[in-house]
Amino acid sequence: MMKNRIVLFVSLFLGVFLVGCSDKDESESYYPENTDALISDFELEANIKYASGLADVYFSIVQQGEFEEGKGYVGQIFNADSLPVGTITKSLLAKITTNNPYEIKLFNYSEATKQYSDSSIYTSTDSINFTHPVLVRVTAANRVTQKYYEVKLNVHKQNPDSIHWELYKENAVSNFTNIEQQKAVAFGSDIYWYTANSTNVYLNKSPNTDLSTWTSTDVSWTLSSKMELSTLTVYDDEIYCLTSEGEMMKSSDGISFTAAMADNSDFVNIIGVYGMSSNKQLVALRNVSGTTYFSYYTNQSGWVNSGVVPSDFPITGFSNSVSYTVSKRDRLNIVGGKTAAGNLVSAVWSYDGVDEWAKFPQRNLIGTEGVAIISYEHDPRYKDTFWFMFCGKTGASGYSNRIYYSKDKGVSWSEASSLVTFPSNFTARAFVSPYVGNDFYINLIGGDSAKGELNQVWRGRLNNLVFKPVE
């Protein structure tokens, strides 16, 4: 009996000892086997005080970014759609989703050292300063595996509804001494910028993708009267132009101009090209026995005079024409100009290919000649959703640097806000040649000012078309 008690006691002692040893070993060296240190989701908490929609901002997570010594492949977390200008980013709450890590530590960027420092343990209730990128280190539950991420909160530096204007090219073309006339037109894949003094006409040509480099060529002209460069118009893959005597000339290469056709005289001006399809018309003004008519040309019909020009219709100085389609019908619009009596026009005139020209009076415009108008795709998802009007001459010596916009395809106009106006070093001007490229830049070529003819190319584009997904 005594022997059995001794054996039981020893067994109990050994059991307690082993259990104690086991507890001691586990407390000192056993950790969970979870090696997951990945961030699966990143969100901002709503804070209407700093910006609206913070909780709706979507963050992209790139798990394997650039390799850095001591950190491995550093992941990237960023919002592809930048937050609005002025968003306060110095004190925001973030929700970081992981798989039960041991620790999440934040490192702030130092402007002084250009390095990450000042670490702190992440909690969902402590605000984070996102003025500069934040480095996040996740330590997995095994306390060994670690993963680094750089978090960048992108904020627009400019208002997306503003236009950034710049003087793209000063002294752009050569042979610009004593220039009296100029105009640029898009022809093929190039821009043809014509300049003329009292004796010569020059063609300055540049690819339409880059208006910084121009090559010059003399223009061949078969008549003694001068070219009226303001009438230059591209129609049916040829360039048409009037002489100072009202004769119609054309060129297939932009260099050699000859008589356009047998029926070639008594033209007053060329308005532009009507039509967006193959059924295009060259639209002009023509004097017949002392009366000015609208005259329309197609290769099939030749010139057809149709309708007497009203006394309040502009004969000279009207804007470049813009053709467009609305309600499945093509239209052509011009703005401003000067009547035969010398009065400045403030109205919009529009032609639909069938009816007489329609007049749309403007309460927000003053009489102006030499304005430039464009249709502008301010959102790539929609076509021609915005029109702009630039500059103009308001009197004998008055030049404008105002910008107007239209939301109804040039039917009515309002002065644009300060977000899109020209900078202080922009010289007020008129008769600029506008061109909008595939890169959405609005190019304003040349122009006339109180200082004389301008040898410049200005350009700008709406900033919501400039912003890259990641700044």
255 and 369: one domain?
Answer: no
Does residue 318 share a domain with residue 355? yes
pLDDT band with cut points at 50, 70 and 90 for residue 65? confident
Residue 83 DSSP symbol = B
Q: What is the pLDDT of residue 1?
A: 46
Q: Looking at the structure, do residues 298 and 324 belong to the same domain, yes or no?
A: no
Last residue of a domain, one of 255, 282, 309: 309
pLDDT in tens, 176-185: 999 999 999 9
Return the SS3 of 391.
strand
- The tens digit of pLDDT for each residue in 309-344 reads 999 999 999 999 999 888 888 999 999 999 999 999
Smallest CA-to-CA distance from 242 within 222, 268, 208, 216 is with 268
Domain co-membership, 336 together with 417: yes
Asked if 229 and 247 sit in the same domain, the reply is yes
**Could you tell me the pLDDT band of residue 436, with boundaries at 50, 70 and 90?**
very high
Q: How many domains does the chain have?
A: 3
Structural domain that includes position 443: 160-173+314-471
Looking at the structure, do residues 325 and 286 belong to the same domain, yes or no? no
Mean pLDDT of the chain: 87
**Is residue 346 located within the same domain as residue 400?**
yes
**Confidence grade of residue 25 (pLDDT, cut at 50, 70, 90):** very low
pLDDT digits (tens, 9 = 90+) for 233-281: 999 999 999 999 999 999 999 999 999 888 889 999 999 999 987 789 9
Structural domain ending residue among the three candidates 267, 291, 309? 309
pLDDT of residue 160: 59
Work out the percent of the chain whose per-residue pLDDT is above 70.
89
Residue whose entry in the numeric block shows the structure tokens 């070639």: 264
Q: Please indicate, yes or no, whether residues 320 and 271 belong to a single structural domain of this protein.
A: no
DSSP-assigned states of every residue in 209-255:
T-TT--EEEEPEE-SSSPEEEEEEEEETTEEEEEETTS-EEEESSSS
What mean pLDDT do residues 41-63 have?
88
Model pLDDT, residue 139: 96
